[in-house]
Amino acid sequence: MKLVVTIPAFNEEKTIGKVIQEIPQKIPGITKIDVLVIDDGSSDSTSGVSRKFGATVIRNTSNRGLAQAFSRGVAGALEMGADIIVNTDADFQYNQAQIPLLVKPIVDGKSDIVLGSRFRGKIEHMPLHKKLGNQLVSLLMRTITGIPLTDSQTGFRAFSREAALRINIFSDYTYTQETILEAFDKKLSILEVPVDFRKRDGPSRLISNIFVYAKRVGLTILSSYLNYRPLKVFSFVGALMFLAGTMFGLRVLVHYISTGLVSPYLPSAVLSALLLIVGFQVVIIGLIAEIMKRSRKVQEEILYYERKNVLKK
Ligand SMILES: Nc1nc2c(ncn2[C@@H]2O[C@H](COP(=O)(O)OP(=O)(O)OP(=O)(O)O)[C@@H](O)[C@H]2O)c(=O)[nH]1
Ligand SMILES: [Mg+2]
């Protein structure tokens, strides 16, 4: 089995060499190991250093964002004939000696995706706001998927070839939650193993402002969820409007039955009619989105077979 380790990197010349060097040369069940660095328009010598340490490099001429780089890395690894893909960060925070832990469940045929959980392993240093943010997002992902996830934001993960062929990323910022939601929707199995996490040397390339980051992560989860469960979301919103409309309507009806008049409650009557009509339309939009989801599923199935065919091993 061939393993390709993908490393999205943005201005990481100081650490990328150490990361590549730390990748084990031998892993049980693996016959060949290649490293693929996706240099996302770095202004430093990330590409040069990576090549010096023996990695294959894909270089974007401008910065296109981590999610796009991850996607490009997965496609590149498939083109290189990977049976298993391990994605890791270029900042030397994960310990590459633990790659065999991620790979094993896939080699053994026990899982399609393995996530390295920092919260099950040892964390040398993580600022409190990141710790809380990570745990909050994991709680949200646990609630949505029902999978006992403790670290849905980890950048240290392994994918089987089958999972890599099926997953599509739409976000251009972060891939971490979207891959999990995609896998969940496609009924791929996900497993967590404990991994260690070192202190970052230098500033984060991804998170300049925690509030902006939280907003972008929130929007990514919402838009992914909307994609997978459109009827659930729209019928929930529609039902709330319908309920409010019915309550206002009842108020008008009760008054009309007892006095024969509507006029004192005219604003309530108008509001009730509006809420009932819009609520109904929101449910209809949900139904249309659900129909569109079906056709998206067919398109994704075609994409899967097309990829499989083009990237035949
Ligand atoms: N390709 C690409 N990679 C990026 C970009 N931003 C960050 N990265 C890489 O993604 C990985 C994770 O980024 P970090 O800056 O370490 O973010 P983080 O680990 O969430 O945050 P820290 O806890 O501060 O390290 C690193 O390998 C970065 O080089 C980007 O715009 N494009
Ligand atoms: Mg990091």
Ligand nearest to the CA of 176: 1
pLDDT number for residue 207: 78
CA 191 to chain centre: 15
Q: How far is the CA of 268 from the centre of ligand 1 (A)?
A: 53
Cβ of 90 closer than 6 Å to ligand 1, yes or no, is yes
pLDDT number for residue 206: 79
Phi, psi of 110 (to 5 degrees): -95, -15
Percent of the chain at pLDDT above 90? 87
Q: How far is the CA of 9 from the centre of ligand 1 (A)?
A: 7
Cβ of 133 closer than 6 Å to ligand 1, yes or no, is no
Q: Which of 66, 68, 96 to mutate to test the pocket of ligand 1 (most atoms within 8 A of CB)?
A: 66
- What band does 171 get if pLDDT is binned at 50, 70 and 90? confident
pLDDT number for residue 141: 95
Phi, psi of 101 (to 5 degrees): -65, -35
Mean pLDDT value of segment 282-286: 97
pLDDT number for residue 208: 75
List pLDDT tens digits, range 172-214: 788 999 999 999 999 999 999 999 999 998 888 877 788 888 8
For the chain, the average pLDDT equals 95
Neighbours of 52 (CB within 10 A): 12
- What band does 312 get if pLDDT is binned at 50, 70 and 90? confident
pLDDT number for residue 211: 84
Q: Which residue has the tokens 């929930």?
A: 236
Instruction: Report d(CA 78, CA 200) in Å as an integer.
Output: 30
- The residue ranking higher by pLDDT, 33 or 227, is 33
Q: How far is the CA of 42 from the centre of ligand 2 (A)?
A: 16
Ligand nearest to the CA of 207: 1
pLDDT number for residue 170: 86
Cβ of 16 closer than 6 Å to ligand 1, yes or no, is no
Would you say residue 31 has pLDDT above 90?
A: yes
- The residue ranking higher by pLDDT, 312 or 247, is 247
Cβ(159)–Cβ(203) below 8 Å = no
Torsion of the alpha carbons at 86, 21, 90 and 123, rounded to the nearest 10? 80
DSSP 146-205: ----S-TT-S-EEEEHHHHHH-----SS--HHHHHHHHHHTT--EEEEE--BPPPSS--S
* Closest C-alpha residue for ligand 1 atom 9: 9
Q: How far is the CA of 194 from the centre of ligand 1 (A)?
A: 21
pTM given for the model = 0.89
Would you say residue 285 has pLDDT above 90?
A: yes
Ligand nearest to the CA of 134: 1
In whole angstroms, how far apart are CA 291 and each of 95, 228, 238, 297?
A: 45, 12, 17, 10
Cβ of 207 closer than 6 Å to ligand 1, yes or no, is yes
Mean pLDDT value of segment 3-18: 98
Q: Is the dihedral of CA 188, 192, 196, 198 positive or negative?
A: positive
